[in-house]
């Protein structure tokens, strides 16, 4: 038997109902904050991620699905292509390619789509997963660099998580500085690591030389006490970065957005500058980050574009859905009514009733007149319907139907004209 590839999975009903609910809610919230959708290709030049995300990151150094794409004609060349492991680099590439900055306005863009990383699969970690993300970028004259962008995006995230009904999240916040202050911090890290790196994992020993900041991402348990003793970036921020971060925090305080400072959170991608953040959720176990993001003021220039500071985030939709499922112990079926035609010749009457209810916006399903009442009730139960409506000859003649609420077992006769209203409440 052929099975889905390791790390990929089929999303099946009824779970897809929750995915669609999340998609619809986030689109609604994005519209309220004046975001518009962007769709970039699922694969890009490998070089985009190497230069954008960074060669030393886990993503680029070991997790990308990359292949050599052979030329098919003399006019083409063989090229290195990669399934996108994230969407920020693609969005910034598109911003540059289509000169989206020419209007002088901020670009507020969102995306929903599949991403690919060759990670070790486990609950909440897949090789194909979905992100809901957004990026705000533009020329500095549009205010793209200002702390209000950071605060607005973090406030929107709380509204977004509220809209889908996620409770119990924690927001962790940090500033990772800028190219002006990072070298001094890197130097301090390098020096501190020189004396302890021999006691650390092989990856950290390498990173201590090549990109010491990445040591802070290390997940090896034995390395953690050593990492906790390393210098903190907060002590190395220059005056502008300190002021920027204080501005963001002051606005969050005024808005009442709760957060915790986590000085170790540098995030696993190289493009970040200044504000970085993650929202975690306790129900998710080891893969607790529901979303992550931050500012990337130099990314456009790094990719050969104009100056275009920006900030964004990506929600792991798989994890968001897992957290929502853990929260609502029993998933609510969207099916309101199951109509049971009772007796020969009743199908057409029942079908007419189903049409009326569906036109009134009520989700309804229907059995068959050959089913015994017991079978109709069992089917309704399995489908997760809230009510069973019996459509027999007496009911049709009286123009009033027996309606039974499955959970309470309560039964009532409701006139046809009032049925939709009754089911809605």
Q: How far is the CB of 161 from ligand HAM (least distance, A)?
A: 13
Q: Which residues bind ligand HAM (CB under 6 A)?
A: 86-88, 117, 119, 124-126, 129, 131, 133, 135, 268-269, 289-294, 312-314, 316, 318-319
Residue 98 has φ and ψ, to the nearest 5°, of -100, 10
Task: Provide the token pair at 179.
Answer: 């190219």
Please give the angle made by the CA atoms of 321, 322 and 327, to the nearest 5 degrees: 95
Tokens 């794409």, residue located: 69
CA–CA separation, 9 vs 112, rounded Å?
Answer: 17
C-alpha closest to that of 420 among 346, 367, 340, 364: 364
Q: How far is the CB of 58 from ligand HAM (least distance, A)?
A: 9
Q: Which is closer to ligand HAM, CB of 129 or CB of 259?
A: 129
Between 18 and 423, whose beta carbon lies closer to ligand HAM? 18
What is the maximum span of the chain, computed from C-alpha positions, in angstroms? 90
* d(C-alpha 161, C-alpha 316), whole Å: 12
Closest distance to ligand HAM from the beta carbon of 318 (Å): 5
Measured from the CB atom, is 226 or 252 closer to ligand HAM? 252
Rounded to the nearest whole angstrom, what is the least distance from the CB of residue 376 to ligand HAM in the complex?
A: 41
State in angstroms the smallest separation of the CB of 397 from ligand HAM. Answer: 57
Closest CB 226 distance from ligand HAM, rounded Å: 24
Please report how close the Cβ of residue 131 comes to ligand HAM at its closest, in angstroms. 5
**Nearest to ligand HAM of 92, 241 (CB atom):** 92
Q: Residues, the chain, total?
A: 425
Residue ranges with strand state E in 282-361: 289-295, 310-316, 337-342
If the CB atoms of residues 160 and 269 are measured against ligand HAM, the closer one turns out to be 269
Query: For residue 1, what are the CA distances in angstroms to 4, 128, 406?
Result: 10, 21, 40
201 near 222, Cβ under 8 Å? Answer: yes
Q: Strand pairing of 337-342 and 387-392?
A: parallel
Q: How remote is the C-alpha of 280 from its chain's centroid?
A: 12
Q: Measure the CA–CA gap between 217 and 352, rounded to whole angstroms.
A: 61
Task: State which residue, 125 or 205, has the beta carbon closest to ligand HAM.
Answer: 125
- CA neighbor of 267 nearest in space, from 293, 302, 285: 293
Q: Which two tokens stand for residue 57?
A: 């990151």
Q: Give the whole-angstrom CA distance, residue 115 versus residue 40.
A: 11
d(CA 42, CA 98): 18
Dihedral, CA of residue 69, residue 72, residue 77 and residue 81, to nearest 10: -20
Contact 60, 105 (CB under 8 A): no
Least separation in angstroms between CB 279 and ligand HAM: 8
Considering the complex, what minimum distance in angstroms separates the CB of residue 217 from ligand HAM? 10
Residue number with CB closer to ligand HAM (135 or 297): 135
Q: Kindly tell me which of 152 and 365 has the beta carbon lying closer to ligand HAM.
A: 152
Separation between Cα atoms, residue 144 and residue 105, nearest integer Å = 9
Q: Which residue, 295 or 386, has its beta carbon nearer to ligand HAM?
A: 295
Shortest distance (Å) from residue 332 CB to ligand HAM: 24
CB of residue 124 vs ligand HAM: minimum separation in angstroms?
Answer: 6
Q: Which residue's C-beta sits nearest to ligand HAM?
A: 316
3-state secondary structure of 169: strand
Closer Cβ to ligand HAM, 212 or 294, answer by number? 294
For ligand HAM, the closer CB: 96 or 226: 96
């Amino acid at each position: 038997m052929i099975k889905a590839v390791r790390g990929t999975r089929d999303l099946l009903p009824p779970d897809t109902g929750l995915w669609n609910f999340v998609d619809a809610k986030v689109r609604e919230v994005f519209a309220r904050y004046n975001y518009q959708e962007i769709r970039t290709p699922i694969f890009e030049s490998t070089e985009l991620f190497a230069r954008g995300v960074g060669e030393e990151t886990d993503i680029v150094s070991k997790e990308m699905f990359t292949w050599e794409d052979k030329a098919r004609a003399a006019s083409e060349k063989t090229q290195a292509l990669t399934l996108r492991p994230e969407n920020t680099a693609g969005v910034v590439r598109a911003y540059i390619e289509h000169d989206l900055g020419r209007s002088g306005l901020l670009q507020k863009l969102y995306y929903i789509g599949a991403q690919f990383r060759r990670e070790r699969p486990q609950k909440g970690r897949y090789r194909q997963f979905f992100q809901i993300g957004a990026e705000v970028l533009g020329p500095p004259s549009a205010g793209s660099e200002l702390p209000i962008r950071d605060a607005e995006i973090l406030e929107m995230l709380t509204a977004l998580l509220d809209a889908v009904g996620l409770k119990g999240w924690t927001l962790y916040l940090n500033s990772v500085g800028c190219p002006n202050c990072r070298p001094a911090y890197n130097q301090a890290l390098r020096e501190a690591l020189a004396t302890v790196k021999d006691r650390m994992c092989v990856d950290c020993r390498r990173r201590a030389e090549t990109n010491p900041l990445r040591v802070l991402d290390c997940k090896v348990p034995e390395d953690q006490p050593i990492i906790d003793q390393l210098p903190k970036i907060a002590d190395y921020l220059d005056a502008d970065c300190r002021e920027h971060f204080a501005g963001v925090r002051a606005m969050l305080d005024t808005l009442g957005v709760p957060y915790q400072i986590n000085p170790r959170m540098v995030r696993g991608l190289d493009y970040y500058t200044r504000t970085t953040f993650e929202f975690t959720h306790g129900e998710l176990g080891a893969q607790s980050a529901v979303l992550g993001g931050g500012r990337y003021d130099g990314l456009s220039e790094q990719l050969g574009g104009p100056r275009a500071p920006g900030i964004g985030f990506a929600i792991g939709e798989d994890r968001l859905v897992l957290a929502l499922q853990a929260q609502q112990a029993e998933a609510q079926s969207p099916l309101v009514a199951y109509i049971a035609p009772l007796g020969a010749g009743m199908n057409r009457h029942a079908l007419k009733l189903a049409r009326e209810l569906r036109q009134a916006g009520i989700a309804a399903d229907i059995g068959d007149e050959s089913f015994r009442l017991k079978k109709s009730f069992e089917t309704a139960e399995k489908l997760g319907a809230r009510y069973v409506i019996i459509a027999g000859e007496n009911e049709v003649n009286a123009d009033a139907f027996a309606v039974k609420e499955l959970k309470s077992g309560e039964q009532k006769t409701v006139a046809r004209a009032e049925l939709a209203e009754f089911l809605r409440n």
